[in-house]
Amino acid sequence: MDFIPMPSTADVLGVLIAIFSVAIAAASSYYFVSRKPKGCLDPQKFKEFKLIKKTQISPDVARFRFSLPTPKSVLGLPAVTYVLCRGKDSEGQEVIRSYTPITLDSQVGYFELVVKMYPEGRMSHHFSEMREGDYLAVKGPQAFKVPFNYKPGQVRAFGMIAGGSGITPMFQLTRAILENPKDKTIVHLIYANTTFEDILLKEDLDDFARKFPDRFKVYYVLSKPPEAWTGGGGHVSKEMIQSHCPPPAPDIRILRCGPPGMNEAMTAHLNALGYTSSMQYEF
């Protein structure tokens, strides 16, 4: 019978150390994953969040920052989703409207909304009356009527056409793309407004363009441009789309979000330019 040598004490110790190291690594990984902050939102019921900063951007637009329970809390909002906000109109009646936060879960401790307040808007009244220290009831996340489940790299490029406050879902998605160094998706944005003062998040958009010149382009269009305006004038045209959006292709997608009339006009332009229905998405 052949003699089978017994392992030395050093060999046994080495194996035990290796096993122990693997166990420690696995436990550490589980610990850190389990320690990932849980989102603060509830899709079934409203929760109250305190307004800690209100910044007036223009006479009818303000940026609202709401605190989360702890400095390390996250809202728990996937990209390309929105929340429902509850308030009271000028007659004290309850009103609920949807809004898209401009912050993602990369931002901890608070979330932000940019809100345009219309003179006759019922929820606009609630936001215009809000003061720092007040609370807002929020529920979510909520998916758009046709869910948009974005995955990094699912398309080569996005063409985005936004009007007015329709910029918020575009901004949210653009931020998610640009904050991910592994996401090489290119974004071309056409953003239409009436006047220069109506352009929401312009500083943030221009900052994106400076930081990511190869991944993000923005073209502003004003129906009432000021003198010496270098952007587009009038309404978004087929020629503007041809010049500032990726051409029709299976690996591109054109997103649009704006007033109903604008969305209808953009649909007609895109169809005429050869973009199929599978290449288009409306928020």
Domain parsing of the chain, residue ranges: 47-142, 157-282
What are the φ/ψ torsions at residue 44 (nearest 5 degrees)?
A: -105, -25
pLDDT of residue 59: 85
Round to whole Å and give the CA distance between 209 and 275.
26
281 CB neighbour count, 10 Å cutoff: 17
CATH number of 157-282: 3.40.50.80
Q: How many residues would you count in the chain?
A: 283
65 HSE (CA, 13 A, CB side): 9
Cβ-in-10-Å burial (0-12, 13-18, 19+) of 70 comes to exposed
Identify the three-state secondary structure at position 41.
coil
Domain 47-142 has CATH 2.40.30.10: yes
pTM of the shown model: 0.83
pLDDT, tens digit (0-9, with 9 covering 90-100), for 7-65: 555 554 454 444 444 444 444 443 333 455 689 999 999 999 999 999 998 888 999 99
Q: Is the pLDDT of residue 241 over 90?
A: yes
The full DSSP string for 255-282 is EEES-HHHHHHHHHHHHHTT--GGGEEE
pLDDT category of residue 80 using cuts at 50, 70 and 90 = confident
pLDDT of residue 58: 83
Domains 47-142 and 157-282 share a fold: no
Question: For the residues 250-276, what does the mean pLDDT come to?
Answer: 97
pLDDT of residue 162: 98
Percent of the chain with pLDDT over 70: 87
